[in-house]
Every structure is written in C-alpha cells, then in structure tokens.
C-alpha cells in the first residue's frame, strides 16, 4: 500500500488545484463584491473547516491575504495609469465603503497615500508587495497551460509612434505613464488607435540594464520633438504565428513558450528575425486581470 501512494498524489493535487483555481478566478473577477470565506469554500466544493488551510498549502498565502493583494494591486494600477478615475471610484471597486478607509489601508500597505502613489509610485515596494499574488497566479496558469490555438497570418506593415523603455523592467510603469500622457495630449485613445508592444528582450533572461521594450500606438501623425522621447518607426509586413493570450501579463510566457516548444517542432516552422509583437485588445486594470486580452504575433522565417 505504501508503494502505491505516491502514484496517486499528482492526480489528487491536480484535482485540488482545479477546484481552488476556480476560487482564484472568482476572486479576481469580483473584487468589488464581498468575498466571504464560506462562499469561496463552496466554489471550491471543499470543506469549510479546512478550506483556508488547503488554499494556503496550494498557493503559499492565505485566502484573506490573496483577496487584499488582488484588490490593492488593481487599485495601484488604476492610481498609476488611470488618472481620470477618482479615489472614491477606486475605493468602491476595491470593496471599501469610503475613500477615507481605503486611503488609510492603502497607506498601511504601500507606505504612500493614494495621492502620493498616483504622483510618484514606489515601484520597488509595489513589486515586492505583490510578488506573492503573482506567484499564486503562476501556479494556476501552469496548471491550465495547454497548447494554444495557433494561426499563421500576415501582419500588415504598420506605422507606429513609439516610446522605448530601456532599462530595469521594474520601472516600465514610469514609461507607461509618460506614454499615456503623450497619447492623451494627441487624442489617441486605445479604442480608436491600436496599442502594440515590440518585445526586444525577455525580462526573465536579460540583465535589467539591457532590457528593451517598445510602447507603440498605430498612427500617422507627425512626430515633433517632445520631452517623452517619442519617435516613429514602421513595423514591417511579417508572416507570423498568432496566438491569443487571456490573463495577466505575468503569465504571457505560459502562452508563448508552448509555441516554441511544441508547435514549431511539430510544424517545421522557425522563428524569424524580428521581435515578438503584442497587440493589446483589452488591458488590466480597465478589465479584471483574468479578462485582459493580448494577441501575440511571433514572426516566422
């Protein structure tokens, strides 16, 4: 009997993870609602007496802390990148009944008031604070990682205005803020003008000072001198493998890697001599993290 037990553990672990992944998805999609432990236990179809222990065992943090991190992560993103949203609206979407209670709790977590964070975000502190949230979501992403649907398409030649982030990816948020401000001044809203990223390097494999990432918007306006350093470039027409990613940015590689590891060897296709392109269809925090959608274009030889 003892020799047989290890054979069954992976199956049991997968079953638990499937049930608790439903809980993660429910939390992320309903951050403004009450998230009672008993309701979450029912979603997992798990004993209410032991639900909290099993959640912590699977994800490395308690469900209450996960809920707090998920709420404040979205609030921080809205404060940093959506200046048109009031603190009251952000507080309500974070499950707080008043901006005062939200501000007090936010400052306790971040060491900055919401208004201070909106002005000058402390990205280092935020990265450390939200790492357990990202780690937990990686666990659910790996569980669901499958071969994505791949299409071969022709990416059209596209002229884009670009802000290039060159340096530590931890501070790409500052570049995003400058790019958003420039787009607003030139009336280039995302629902009318497509948003792209050109991924020159993988942050997991590149020294921080060598990381390079382009923020782009499709436009034909004349680019004059500007303090943000915006320049124009043309993405050439490319034959690409296209896959759709749905979920937060930190799980993008879980969609990309199977294309290189499985699809290319199976089809005989090879990667071309141009960086990966992201076409942003919907973005967190405008939508909840599990619903953020990106079309990934991998150039082919």
SS (H, E, C) 101-116: HHHHHHHHHHCCCHHH
Residue 49: its pLDDT value, please?
Answer: 85
Q: Residue 113's pLDDT is what?
A: 96
Whether residue 285 is preceded by a cis peptide bond, meaning omega within 30 degrees of 0, is yes
Q: What is the pLDDT of residue 96?
A: 87
Last residue of a domain, one of 117, 144, 171: 144
Does residue 88 share a domain with residue 15?
yes
Does residue 111 sit in the same domain as residue 221?
no
b/e map 79-110, b = 16+ CB within 10 Å: bbbbeebebeebbebbbbeebeebbebbeebb
Collect the ranges in the chain with pLDDT lower than 50.
1-9
Q: Does residue 163 contact residue 214 with C-beta atoms inside 8 Å?
A: yes
Domain span including residue 213: 151-299
User: What is the number of alpha carbons within 13 Å of residue 117 lying toward its C-beta?
Assistant: 27
pLDDT at 1: 41
Does residue 276 share a domain with residue 157? yes
Over residues 35-72, the pLDDT tens digits come to 988 899 999 998 888 889 889 988 999 999 999 999 99
Do residues 243 and 117 both lie within one domain? no
Q: Which tokens go with 51?
A: 């639900």
| pLDDT computed for residue 8 by the predictor | 44
- Please indicate, yes or no, whether residues 114 and 202 belong to a single structural domain of this protein: no
Q: Are residues 293 and 155 in the same domain?
A: yes
Residues 278 and 139 in one domain: no
CA distances from 255 to 59, 252, 277, 288 (A): 21, 5, 13, 19
Q: What is the count of structural domains for the chain?
A: 2
Residues 67 and 139 in one domain: yes
252 and 115 in one domain?
A: no
What is the pLDDT at residue 106? Answer: 95
The answer to whether residues 215 and 197 touch, using CB atoms and an 8 Å cutoff, is yes
Look up residue 191 and give its DSSP letter: T
| CATH number assigned to the domain comprising residue 126 | 1.10.10.60
d(CA 88, CA 102): 9
Whether residues 94 and 214 fall in one domain: no
Q: Which of 144, 160, 190 is the last residue of a domain?
A: 144
Please state the pTM of the whole predicted model: 0.83
pLDDT on residue 142: 63
Q: Of 82, 110, 144, which marks where a domain is finished?
A: 144
Q: What is the pLDDT of residue 7?
A: 46
Same domain, 191 and 220: yes
CATH number at 269 reads: 3.20.80.10
My answer on whether 138 and 158 are in the same domain is no
pLDDT score, position 261: 86
Instruction: Give the per-residue pLDDT at 210.
Output: 92
């Amino acid at each position: 009997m003892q020799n047989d037990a290890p054979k069954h553990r992976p199956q049991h672990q997968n079953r638990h993870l499937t049930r608790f992944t439903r809980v993660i998805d429910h939390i992320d999609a309903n951050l403004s609602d009450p998230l009672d432990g008993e309701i979450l236990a029912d979603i997992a179809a798990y004993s209410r007496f032991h639900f909290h222990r099993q959640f912590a065992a699977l994800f490395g943090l308690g469900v209450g802390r996960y809920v707090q991190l998920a709420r404040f992560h979205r609030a921080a993103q809205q404060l940093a990148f959506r200046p048109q949203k009031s603190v009251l609206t952000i507080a309500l979407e974070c499950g707080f009944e008043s901006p005062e209670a939200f501000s007090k709790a936010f400052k306790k977590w971040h060491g900055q008031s919401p208004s201070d964070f909106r002005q000058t975000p402390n990205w280092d502190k935020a990265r450390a604070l939200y790492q357990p949230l990202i780690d937990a979501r990686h666990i659910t992403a790996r569980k669901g990682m499958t071969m994505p649907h791949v299409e071969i398409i022709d990416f059209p030649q596209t002229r884009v205005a670009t802000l290039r982030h060159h340096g530590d990816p931890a501070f790409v948020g500052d570049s995003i803020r400058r790019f958003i401000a420039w787009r607003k001044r030139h009336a280039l809203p995302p629902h009318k003008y497509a948003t792209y990223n050109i991924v020159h390097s993988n942050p997991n494999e590149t020294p921080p000072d060598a990381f390079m990432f382009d923020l782009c918007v499709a436009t034909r306006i004349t680019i004059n001198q500007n303090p943000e350093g915006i320049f124009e470039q043309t993405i050439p027409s490319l034959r690409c493998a296209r896959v759709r990613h749905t979920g937060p940015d930190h799980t993008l590689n879980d969609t990309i890697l199977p294309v290189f590891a499985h699809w290319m060897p199976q089809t005989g296709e090879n990667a071309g001599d141009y960086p990966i392109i992201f076409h942003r269809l919907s973005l967190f925090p405008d939508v909840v993290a599990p619903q953020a959608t990106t079309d990934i274009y991998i150039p082919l030889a």
